[in-house]
Amino acid sequence: MKDHVTLRQFRYFIAAATTGQFSAAALSEHVSQSAITSAVQSLEKQLKVRLFDRLPHGVILTAEGQVFFHHARHVMDSVNDAMRHASLLPQTATGTIRLAATYTVLGYFLPDLLSRFKRSYPQVEIDLIDMDRPALERALADSTIDLGVALLSNIEMPQRYGHHLLVRSRRRVWMAASHPLARQAIVSLSDVERCPYILLTVDDAEAAAMRHWGPAGAALNIAMRTSSLEALRGLVAYGFGISILSDLVYRPWSLEGKKIMAIPVSDSLAPMDVGLLWPSTRQPSGLVDVFRQFLIHACETESGTSSAPVQRTAARIR
């Protein structure tokens, strides 16, 4: 008798794909690692393809796995929509959402989420605006945007606006696979201080990096500053220096195909928080609130967490 695919298998597969480790997926889903392994192996057997490449420190999706990953997430999005009665909002609903985002979230966080939302609501227009943090805060104060997605950890007083944490991403040290520190399971900030450092300058990354050391940050051996994350990735991969950045933007390979390692830090580092913001004078409603709830629920589902509920408002699309 042929096995049936279950939503649990989809959920476990998605957890493994997003965490990059079966052990981390098991922790997020509160199950044993063998349950994650069994679910993935069952899917691979039924699909007759290999979904993951197994690596020494985790797993990475194959090309076939990447295709299946997008389908699996769409299935789970549809199920979650149904459970939240989002089907009461017709897929033919029309309207425009004015959404602003900063560099990091626009390039490395939002595109997939926007694509998933558009698959459910194809006629909804997203007026997406690229803004730096000061401009985004001004737009919130002036109520010229409906929603903003930015790094909450860079905003001194997020309570001035309506806000909701979407993702909390740990920071690790990036280095070339050939770097001497890459042989260590964990490194300290003292180890980092002794190495040339590549400093990212966009999205207040420079200020965030200096906060790791406090006043001593000025003593960092900064070899180069760059506003390009892909340039930093290449410089790190070729061994010109190391850098501390979040897992949200981590990729194991540079554009040139060179390996990049991400090693945990023994010292306490503040995570990078990505969140939603909206004008304090205007509670999101209608289509804007539907989109807000979609982002919140999508992020909670993938992280395996549940945050405080956000007050819902009736969705009326005119």
Percent of the chain with pLDDT over 90: 47
Q: Is a pLDDT exceeding 50 seen at residue 307?
A: no
- Sign of the dihedral defined by the CA atoms of residues 121, 19, 84, 128, in that order: negative
Q: What is the pLDDT of residue 91?
A: 63
Q: Is a pLDDT exceeding 60 seen at residue 298?
A: yes
Lowest mean pLDDT among 41-50, 246-255, 266-275, 304-313: 304-313
Token pair, residue 73, equals 């997430």
Owner of token pair 């063998």: 34
Q: Assign 3-class secondary structure to the chain.
A: CCCCCCHHHHHHHHHHHHHCCHHHHHHHHCCCHHHHHHHHHHHHHHHCCCCEEEECCEEEECHHHHHHHHHHHHHHHHHHHHHCCHHHCCCCCCEEEEEEECHHHHHHCHHHHHHHHHHHCCCEEEEEEECCHHHHHHHHHHCCCCEEEEEHHHCCCHHHCEEEEEEEECEEEEEECCCHHHHCCCECHHHHHCCCEEEECCCCHHHHHHHHHHHHHHHCCEEEEECCHHHHHHHHHCCCCEEEEEHHHCCCECCCCCEEEEECECCCCCCEEEEEEECCCCCCCHHHHHHHHHHHHHHHHHHCCCCCCCCCCCCCCC
For residue 85, name the pLDDT band (cuts at 50, 70, 90). Answer: low
Q: Is a pLDDT exceeding 60 seen at residue 216?
A: no
Q: What is the pLDDT of residue 240?
A: 96
Q: What is the pLDDT of residue 90?
A: 61
Task: Check: pTM over 0.75? Answer yes or no.
Answer: no
Residue 101, strand partner residues: 130, 149
Q: What is the rounded average pLDDT for all residues in the chain? A: 85
- Distance, in Å, from the CA atom of 144 to the CA atom of 178, rounded to the nearest integer, reads 49
Q: Which residues contact 7 (CB under 8 A, 6 or more apart)?
A: 75, 76, 79
Q: What is the pLDDT of residue 314?
A: 30
Q: What is the pLDDT of residue 309?
A: 33
Q: Which domains does the chain carry?
A: 7-83 (1.10.10.10), 93-168+272-303 (3.40.190.10), 171-263 (3.40.190.10)
Lowest mean pLDDT among 189-198, 214-223, 287-296, 305-314: 305-314
